[in-house]
Chain A
Amino acid sequence: MRVKYFAWVRERVGVAEETVQPPADVRTVTDLIGWLSSRGEAYAYAFEKPKVIRAAIDHAHVKPDAAIAGAREIAFFPPMTGG
């Protein structure tokens, strides 16, 4: 699946997007954050406060317990500040 990062999450991770293949036991958005955080210091720093991170699956906002099965694109970002 493709993972995208925006705003300071993108700056901390160091890439705007990447393709990942998490193990089968990574089932939810929270699981994915945990797995990404284990991939290195930059990820751990980006996700150090998981509660402030928002997620979207295939362009729709989702809650942390949302299942990631079948997702084509998952995005992580800080709370929105548009308008």
Chain B
Amino acid sequence: MSVTATIRIQEADFDVAQEIAALSKGRTDVGAIVTFSGVCRGSENGEPIAALTLEHYPGMAEAEIGRHADEALARWPLQGLTIIHRFGRIAPGENIVLVVTASSHRQAAFEAADFLMDYLKTNAPFWKREESEKGTSWIEARDHDDAAAARWTKP
């Protein structure tokens, strides 16, 4: 049976346990579930921040995440895949992003989740702006995220 990824781009928060249950409830073919939760930190480079605001490109965000979800499903034997990315204002301690991968064995679940997060960071059209006492500023992309994503490109 072919697996379809669940992809949601939303302003509202999500419940990690509920998303895991949605992928695994009533199933006996799943042997491993890996979840990655990206959470808003309370400081950036040692400076406290009040909140992050995430801007996204509606339409392209779904399309881009969908392309990478399809690639993950083609590369690893997954039984389930859920990707949720929030936009809007997010306070420290709140969720930003969630990747849940379900597979028969752990290696595929770990690798697919790692791959998806590397590509979400570098290719999904989202931009973070941080609020602090000094005002607001856009967070700059990091070279090490590009390097991490490049690991998955086959030579």
Contacts and interface: CB of A to CB of B under 8 A. Distances in A.
Interface of A: 4, 6-8, 56, 59-61, 75, 77-83
B89 interface: no
A81 B141 CA distance: 5
A9 to B, nearest CB: 9
Interface string B41-58: 000000000000011110
**What interface size band does chain B fall in?**
20 to 34
B8 interface: no
Given A75-B57, A82-B121, A7 B64 contact: no
Contacts of A81: 121, 126-128, 138-141
B59 A59 contact: yes
A4 to B, nearest CB: 7
Interface of B: 38, 54-57, 59-60, 63-64, 85, 96-97, 117, 120-129, 138-141, 145
A7 B129 contact: yes
A82 B124 contact: yes
A80 B125 contact: yes
A57 to B, nearest CB: 10
A38 to B, nearest CB: 25
A82 B126 contact: yes
